[in-house]
Amino acid sequence: MELARAIASRQSINRVRPDPVPDGVIEEVLESAVHAPNHKITEPWLFHVFTGKGRGEFARARAETARLQAEEEGEGEEMAAGRISRERKKAFRAPVVITVVSRAGRDEVETRENYAACSAAVQNMLLTAHSLGLGAIWRTGPVAYHEHMRAFFGLEEGDGIVAYLYLGYPDMGERPRRREAVAEKTVWHRG
């Protein structure tokens, strides 16, 4: 797919079919990530790929996080049970879930730049997925960043969870894109 068209036509796909995605296709998506720019070639990314029954591990971590959050918020038992069950199910919304982790840098600036590099990597992945006929969505949220999820992925101080990418074959059509004109966001400084 031509690049400009891929950029303009990519959109978040939150409904995908349960059909498995071949490992080779997932590897193409991963390969595109590591070509992202990264300052001082720190290559700060780390990927966790969950497919098939492997998503069960991710589901358990999400469910346990939801349980802890319910406890932290003093939620009643019934409400908590619903929340835990919903979180568990979310792990199975797509046949592939890829977690993108950014590693800590040697100082605060490098840590920030590592995170930026990982965001560029995620965009590469979204575009590659799109060009391969896959649907993808970048998801985060309070569960995603919770201390329990960090522990599940073995994160240390300065490491960050950048994205949970849900991938699969699209089960929805295109939506109109809503974006302000770039001219509204641009200040030109001409000679």
Residue number, 27 or 140, with CB nearest to ligand FMN: 140
3-state SS, residue 183: helix
Q: Is 148 annotated as a binding residue?
A: no
Between 139 and 148, name the residue whose CB sits nearer to ligand FMN: 139
Place of tokens 């939620």: 75
12 known ligand binder: yes
CB of 65 vs ligand FMN, minimal distance in Å? 14
Mark residue 43 as left, alpha or beta (left: phi above 0; alpha: psi -120 to 50; beta: remaining): left
Judge contact between 24 and 115, C-beta under 8 A.
no
- Residue 126 Cβ vs ligand FMN, minimum distance, rounded to whole Å: 8
User: Tokens 């590659």 belong to which residue?
Assistant: 128
Min. distance of Cβ 179 from ligand FMN in angstroms? 8
Q: What does the binding site for ligand FMN look like in residue numbers (CB under 6 A)?
A: 11-12, 14, 137-141
Q: Which is nearer to ligand FMN, 138 or 153 (CB)?
A: 138
Task: Round to whole Å and give the CA distance between 138 and 122.
Answer: 8
Cβ-based nearer residue to ligand FMN, 106 or 145: 145
User: Is position 103 annotated in a ligand binding site?
Assistant: no
Residues 151, 62: contact at Cβ < 8 Å?
A: no
Is 11 a known ligand-binding residue? yes
Nearest-CA neighbor of 140 among 119, 157, 161? 161
Whether 123 has a binding-site annotation, put simply, is no
Q: In whole angstroms, how close is the CB of 103 to ligand FMN at the nearest point?
A: 18
Residues of the binding site for FMN: 10-12, 39, 138-140
